[in-house]
Amino acid sequence: MISLPLHAMTKIRGITNMPKRAPTRSDHLRGAVAQEAARLMAEHGIQDYLVAKRKAAERYGVVDGSVLPKNTEIEAALASYQRLFGGEQHMSSLQQQRRTALQAMQLLERFEPRLVGAVLTGTATGYTDIQLHVFSDSPEAVCMQLMDRRYEYEVFERKLKLTAERQITVPSVRFEMGTETVEAFVFPKDGIRQAPVSPVDGRPMRRAGAPEVSTLTEMGAARRPGR
């Protein structure tokens, strides 16, 4: 067996630590589409990642699907856009949405509400609807709660992916609370055990109960100037 000097072995091992490749034209185009999709969501109220992605791709004349960014890339671009251009206005709007979400959760407290989506993650725009998951074996009971509290509401259905292979149809209600729109998706009681997958990253959606949402609003208020 031939043994090599230590410095030679170090050089050989170093071959695996190759520098990262330089960004290609496709990489730059992918990033540009992600940034444009984020801008469309922030400025024009588009809430669907696929719609924003397609519109951005049209602007740049992209027809190759392999160049299109992932939803996670668009979400990251949206967060960057909000940090750069949203500033205090974005934080103020987000805190208002979270305060309203907390009020809606108190209204629907008996249905163990959980906040989900962009209002929870912090990437909500001024156009984003507040989304809640509530749990009841009787969707009509949620409607009756709103009716008893004199809220007008609209009933609709939403298709969600429970897993990558399984899609379910969830009865839902939409209502206005102040200046915000709240959508409550009604799952069976045992639906609290398994969250549907996120349209952003394909992982189980993050859900937050009222105590966590209350903490988020308090933290946001503490970060505002003058506090």
Q: Are residues 137 and 30 in the same domain?
A: no
The pLDDT score that the predictor gives to residue 77 is 96
Our count of domains for the chain comes to: 2
Structural domain range at position 29? 24-69
* CA–CA gap between residue 36 and residue 34 (Å, rounded): 6
Domain end (from 10, 41, 69)? 69
**CATH number of the domain bearing residue 180:** 3.30.460.10
Tell whether 141 and 37 lie within a shared domain: no
Shared-domain flag, residues 185 and 104: yes
200 and 127 share one domain: yes
CA angle 28, 61, 23 (to 5 degrees): 10
Which pLDDT tens digit goes with each residue over 142-201? 999 999 999 999 999 999 999 888 999 999 999 999 999 999 999 999 999 999 999 999
Residues 54 and 92 in one domain: no
8 lies in a domain? no
Half-sphere exposure at residue 92, Cβ-oriented, CA atoms within 13 angstroms: 5
Q: Tell whether 78 is covered by a domain.
A: no
Look at residue 108 and tell me if it is in a domain. yes
Q: pTM of the predicted model, to two decimals?
A: 0.83
Strand 130-135 relative to strand 180-187, pairing: parallel
